[in-house]
Amino acid sequence: MEKTILNRFKALFERQKRDLVYSGKVMNEEFNLKPDDLADEVDLTSTENETGMRMRLRNREALFLKKIEEALARISKGTFGQCSSCEDEISMKRLEARPTATLCVDCKESQEQSERLHIDGHRYKSLGNKFQLG
């Protein structure tokens, strides 16, 4: 891949990483519960829901941050834009739509297909159990 394009992706990832770290910091500050928030049961419930929501959000951010860091590592190793399965080049169109992609379109499709088969197989199995029980 051309160095100018690589640098463009590198700048993009570094900006996304900075944004994530910054929003994480803001969230941690908000995360501290004030005693007033625990005044009655209704408040407690809404606080719990909110906490759960924030935790999920944080998990998703952490996952995204990990993907960005892996992408940056691939840039410095020189393997960025290469499919991790078949080692073909991932198309520019795909990388622009999903810069952290590690699989080319073909490999991604076959991965999704096998996941779908797995889900169908699972569904079939639970249907079978239900049938036996009924």
Cβ distance to Zn ion smaller for residue 16 or 101: 101
Q: Please report whether residue 71 would count as binding Zn ion according to CB under 5 A.
A: no
Compute φ and ψ for 89, nearest 5 degrees: -75, 135
With a CB cutoff of 8 Å and minimum separation 6, the contacts of 27 are 54, 57, 58
Q: Please report whether residue 104 would count as binding Zn ion according to CB under 5 A.
A: yes
In Å, what is the CA distance from 88 to each residue of 70, 111, 114?
Answer: 18, 16, 20
Closest to 37 (Cα-Cα) out of 27, 29, 47, 28? 47
Cβ distance to Zn ion smaller for residue 44 or 86: 86
Q: Please report whether residue 107 would count as binding Zn ion according to CB under 5 A.
A: yes
**What's the token pair of residue 72?**
């940056």
Of 68, 71, 72, 83, the one binding Zn ion by CB under 5 A? 83
Q: Please report whether residue 86 would count as binding Zn ion according to CB under 5 A.
A: yes
Of 47, 79, 85, 100, the one binding Zn ion by CB under 5 A? 85
Q: Please report whether residue 101 would count as binding Zn ion according to CB under 5 A.
A: no
Specify the 3-state DSSP secondary structure of 107: helix
Q: What is the contact surface with Zn ion in residues (CB under 5 A)?
A: 83, 85-86, 88, 104, 107
